[in-house]
Structure 1
Amino acid sequence: MTTTEEPRGRTDLEQAVEDVKGLWRRHPQRSLETLGRQVTLGRDAVLEMFRALFARRFPFHEFIKQCAFMANVSAAPTVFVAIPVAVVVSIQVGSLVNQVGATTFIGAVSGLGIIRQGAPLVTSLMIAGAVGSAICADLGSRTIREEIDAMRVMGVDPIRRLVAPRLLAAVLVSILLCGFVVFVGFATGYLFNVYAQGGTSGSFISTFASFAVADDLIVALVKAAVFGAITAIIACDTGLHTRGGPGGVANAVNSAVVNSALMLFATNIIITQLYNTLFPVKVI
């Protein structure tokens, strides 16, 4: 009995160890490998971008083409998302300030809420959903058609030719989208407060001007630039490592959008916390 049970016990233990190792390889290890690969791709893309700019070999035609394409696919959805977000912020803020009796500060609270958090979050959603999916689908299609391998065989660096212009275009378009969301969101909040909530235009503008500073807009634009860079790197890496034909492209696009959204929300929290810690609000 002992000789027959001991091998079985060792087999079960070895199977359990193998299961644990397989779980590690399938999830945490693969996640760390993907993160390291994306960090390396981002570093190489930034270096290639500056190297190509100084050498006057940067593909400006591809850069302009990508800027126009990204703006085309993201501008209209950004407006349709920014308007309801601004209305929701105005409703929630209006309800809260009415309860505490601070209706004169609704302009400052609503405007700063849109600039500091509403605009970057809307930008992150549009960048991850529209721009990231388009980049990943484009590069994924090129990968399964073996165009990327053909470029390497011909001595053309895909990072300099494809990734670097998309990275710079995503950063520029993200900054422009954030500024656009700030304008649309603030105008929507102003109109909703004046014509739907019975507020006064002078009080809304004066309280906002009293509390808002230029750093609020600068931080929002910096967030947008970081969001654009992260989205472009994740989308390019996922597209360049697409496998499995057309179905693999669809899976890659889904993975790129989900990973980008998670990373952008986490990055927004980190940047906000760092800014509030390093530059606390001064009470006058």
Structure 2
Amino acid sequence: MGGHAISTLFVDLFTRKFPFNEFIKQCAFMASVAAAPTLLVAIPIAVTVSVQVGAVVSQVGATSFIGAVNGLTIIQQGAPLVTSLMIAGAVGSAVCADLGSRTIREEIDAMKVMGVDPMRRLVAPRLAAAMLVSVLLCGFVIFVGFLMGYLFNTLMQDGVPGSYLATFSAFASSNDMIVALIKALIFGLLTAIIACDCGLNARGGPGGVANSVNAAVVTSALMLFATNIILTQIYNTLFPVELV
């Protein structure tokens, strides 16, 4: 189903048959259900990272590098992981519940009888919307996480603002941001595929929809964490850290 949906998405984009109205509607819906939870999770994650990093860095006497360590931790791992959890929990469950309810009401079968392809009308716009919203959420988490880490370090840990920013800019690169956004794009794609597949194969009435939503969330979370490990290892292999 994933391959069919992706091919349909690209074909519709090139042939100008892509349902942009449904795409915009899904983008607005996904952003509305994921933005607030993402903000509420990003703030404590950033503060926790700042506390733990500050404690470790202070023990080894490298407080001047806390900006680099804190910022890179948030960009490389914190933001993608928070995004994966929010995409799997908020967006994936909503998409699966929507398609699952349509399936048990036999709306999907009715669309097929009328000659309407569910992949083109329902799945492809959700794939594109999930990828876009996931990238935007990742950028949002990076901004909020870095800002909260900076404020917590300068206000609560007596850090030096100039040193925090200088060390971060010295060690961070554009590749870190690009890889984080690519991770978010892949996370959104995988979550949408899993959620749509579980929703379109829901059986057994409302109870079956609930089971499909649970399966979609759990499967998505496991898949995204495993994918994050693979992508991180590939990035570290292709772009090893250079000692300065």
Aligned-residue offset at 1:52:
1.1
CA distance in 2, matches of 1:45, 1:89: 38
Q: CA shift at 1:281, angstroms?
A: 1.1
Tell me what 1:93 maps to. 53
From 32, 37, 47, give the equivalent of 1:77. 37
1:145 and 2:105 equivalent?
yes
Q: Does the residue aligned with 2:10 lie in a helix, a strand or coil? A: helix
Partner residue in 1 for 2:15: 55
Q: Distance in 1 between matches of 2:219 and 2:146?
A: 30
Do structure 1's residue 232 and structure 2's residue 192 form an aligned pair?
yes
Residues 143-173 of structure 1 show CA distances to partners (whole Å, capped at 9, x for unaligned) of 0000000011111110111000000000000
- Report the more deviating stretch, 47-56 or 190-199: 47-56
AA of the residue aligned to 2:145: G
Rounded to whole Å, the distance in 2 between the matches of 1:278 and 1:219 is 12
- Residue of 196, 207, 217 corresponding to 1:247: 207
Q: Distance in 2 between matches of 1:192 and 1:129?
A: 28
Per the alignment, residue 272 of structure 1 pairs with 232
Structure 1 residue 283: deviation in Å? 1.6
| 1:106 corresponds to | 66
What is the letter of the counterpart of residue 55 of structure 1?
T
Q: Provide the C-alpha distance between the structure 1 equivalents of 2:150 and 2:13, rounded to a whole number of angstroms.
A: 43
Rounded Cα–Cα distance in structure 1 between residues aligned with 2:53 and 2:11:
48
For residues 121-136 of structure 1, the aligned pairs below 5 Å read: 121-136=81-96
Q: Which residue pairs with 1:208 in the alignment?
A: 168
Q: Which has the higher relative contact order, 1 or 2, with Cα contacts under 8 A spaced 6 or more apart?
A: 2
Residue identity opposite 1:189 in structure 2: G
Superposed CA offset, 1:184-235 (max 9, x none):
0000000000000110100100000000000000000000000000000000
Question: In the TM superposition, what is the alpha-carbon distance from 1:282 to its structure 2 partner?
Answer: 1.5
Unmatched runs of 5 consecutive residues or more in structure 1 = 1-40
TM value normalised by structure 2: 0.99
Aligned residue identity for 1:124 = S
CA distance in 2 between counterparts of 1:168 and 1:95 reads: 41
Structure exhibiting the larger radius of gyration computed from Cα positions: 1
1:182-193 alignment, distance < 5 Å: 182-193=142-153
Distance 1:144 1:194 in 2: 54
Q: CA deviation at 1:120?
A: 0.1
Distance (Å, rounded) in 1 between the aligned partners of 2:242 and 2:57: 22
Per-residue deviation, residues 47-95 of structure 1 (Å, max 9, x unmatched): 1111111221111000000000000000000000000000000000000
Instruction: Name structure 2 gaps, 5 residues minimum.
Output: none
Task: Find the residue that maps to 2:202 and give its secondary structure.
Answer: coil
What residue identity is the alignment partner of 2:77? Answer: Q
Partner of 2:118: 158
Quote the RMSD (CA, aligned, Å).
Answer: 0.5
Please report how far the alpha carbon of residue 132 of structure 1 lies from its aligned counterpart in structure 2 after TM superposition. 0.1
Runs of 4 or more consecutive aligned structure 1 residues displaced over 3 Å after TM superposition: none
Q: How many residues align?
A: 244
For residue 125 of structure 1, give the secondary structure of its aligned residue in structure 2: helix
Amino acid at match of 1:61: N
